Amino acid sequence: MNFTEDNVREVAALARLKFDDKKIASMAEQMDKIVGYVQLIQDAPVDDLEPFIYPTELTNVLREDIPQESLATVDVLANCHKADEHFFYVPPVIE
């Protein structure tokens, strides 16, 4: 097995997902197939190669520090589950 039900529980906790026992079993089965398939890359002859992260060369883009218009608070809060005039409402962080 490349991917067990315990693997599902561990990774789901990292990913902030929560599955019942039935879903854990089906997820383990599917992930086992997928992880089994991606093992293919282990055979590739890449010891001397550098990782390829982006297709283009990324360079720092610098600009003068000039104030510019940003998103309006009212627009940003408009998609929130619950908000008041200035703040997002979230469940208690410290109990």
Partner 1 sequence: MNLINLTAQEIKTKVLNLEISPLDIVEQFLNNIEQKDKTIGAFAHIDREYAEICANDLEIRLKKGEKPALAGIPIAIKDNISRKGYLTTCCSLSLKDYKGVYDATVVSKLREAGAIIVGTTNMDEFAMGSSCENSALHPTKNPWDLNYSPGGSSGGSAACVAGGLVPLSLGSDTGGSIRQPASLCGVLGLKPSYGRVSRYGLVAFASSLDQIGSFARNYQDLNLLTEVISGYDKKDSTSVQKDLNLNFDKDKTITVGIPEEYFSDGLNTDVRIKVEEALDYLTKNANVKTIPISLPSLKYAIATYYVIATAEASSNLGRYDGMHYGTRFDGENLTDSFCQSRTNGFGDEVQRRIMLGSYVLSSGYYDAYYVKALKVRRLIANDFQDAFTKCDVIIGPTSPIAGLKLNEDVDDPMSKFLLDIYTVSANLVGLPGLSVPCGFGDKNHPIGLQIIGNSFDEACILELARRFENAGHNNKIAEIA
**Backbone phi and psi for residue 9, each to the nearest 5 degrees, phi listed first:** -60, -45
Contact call for residue 58 and partner 1 (CB under 8 A): yes
81, 84, 85, 86: residue in contact with partner 1 (rule CB under 8 A): 81
DSSP state letter for 83 = B
Residue 78 interacting with partner 1 (CB under 8 A): yes
C-alpha dist (Å) from residue 70 to 33, 41, 67, 74: 46, 44, 9, 12
Which x/- pattern, by CB under 8 A, does the window 10-29 give for partner 1?
xxx-xxxxxx-------x--
In a 3-state reduction of DSSP, which class is residue 22? helix
Q: Which two tokens stand for residue 64?
A: 């003068």
Residues 32-51 that bind partner 1 (CB under 8 A): 33-35, 37-46, 49-51
Q: CA 3, 20, 2 angle in degrees (round to 5)?
A: 5
Where do contacts with partner 1 occur on this chain (CB under 8 A)?
Answer: 3, 7-8, 10-12, 14-19, 27, 30-31, 33-35, 37-46, 49-56, 58, 61, 63, 71, 75-76, 78-81, 88, 90-93, 95
